[in-house]
Amino acid sequence: MAVWKNDEEMFLLMKKKLYTPVVGDILDQMGFVHQFLPAEIRPLSAMTPASLIKDDGKADNRMKLAGFACTVLENDVFGAPKKPFGYLTEALDQLRPNDVYIATGAHNSALWGELLTTTAKVRGAAGAVLDGYTRDTPQVLGLNWPVFARACWAQDSSVRTYVCDYRCTIEIGHVTIHDGDLVFGDIDGVLIIPRAVHEEVLEKALVKASGEKKVRAAIEGGMSATEAFAKFGIL
């Protein structure tokens, strides 16, 4: 039985107790070996000069995210589309609490910015993951809300990008993402936990995270790495 009572408790526990390396290890052990998004997708606050980040003691809020995938598919276009931005506003307006807006498919412009962050945050969404670029960086950082992307780039999407579908199956790198899968991200990357196995994955990851603390303590106490691995089976 899960140690959390509801989704809010589950996501708080993930952000407090877990980190992507240990969850990724469990997914590997269970045969899900292609769950990390490309390494270039990183927290916006991790790729930003420290001078732009307000020292408010809340940096961790921008460096970690956990939620349900709200998948978004975009296309590059050449010239203003008949419907500006496609279904972008519709995709934003239907976001639910604990959703992570996760988009791919367009690379000729920024996919995210200040007003999109404001909309998603107001609707209670948990963060955004862009297989592409984000802009309005100082303003987005000021909203203290997790945005993960490949890089910052100011080029506007209005005549270059079209949201063609949302809550559909997408692929980023070698990872197939279904709407409602779990998204977990931190400084070491972003991974996708299939919804059908998320409870088992998280429960095993919590056990492994606790075990890693014991291994570290043993090594700090003088045990060799070989001895520690033989005893705990964790490295």
Give the CA distances from residue 130 to residues 22, 112, 212, in Å, rounded to whole numbers and listed in that order.
23, 8, 31
Q: pLDDT at residue 61 above 90? A: no
**Which pLDDT score is estimated for 55?**
57
> Could you read off the pLDDT of 199-228 as tens digits, one per residue?
999 999 999 999 888 888 888 888 888 988
Q: What is the pLDDT of residue 163?
A: 97
What letter would DSSP give residue 41? -
Whether residue 51 has pLDDT greater than 60: no
**Quick check: 86 pLDDT over 90?**
yes
Both tokens of residue 167? 């809550």
pLDDT of residue 98: 98
Q: What CA–CA distance (Å, rounded) separates 180 from 122? A: 20
State the pLDDT at residue 50.
66
pLDDT number for residue 219: 86
pLDDT digit string, tens, across residues 122-173 = 999 999 999 999 999 999 999 999 999 999 999 999 999 999 999 999 999 9
Element housing 65 (H / E): strand 65-76
Lowest mean per-residue pLDDT among 40-54, 75-89, 151-165: 40-54
Beta bridge partners of 149: 42
**Are 139 and 29 within 8 A, CB to CB?**
no
Domain ranges (residues) in the chain: 36-193
In CATH, 36-193 is 3.50.30.40: yes
Q: What percent of the chain has pLDDT over 70?
A: 94
- Confidence check: pLDDT of 57 > 60: no
Rounded mean pLDDT, 77-98: 94
**Confidence at 52, pLDDT banded by 50, 70, 90:** low
Q: Is the pLDDT of residue 90 over 80?
A: yes
Q: Which residue has the tokens 């949201």?
A: 163
DSSP for 132-197, written as a single string: SEE--HHHHHHTT--EEESEE----STTTEEEEEESS-EEETTEEE-TT-EEEEETTEEEEE-GGG
The pLDDT value given to residue 172: 98
**CB neighbourhood size of 194 (10 A):** 17
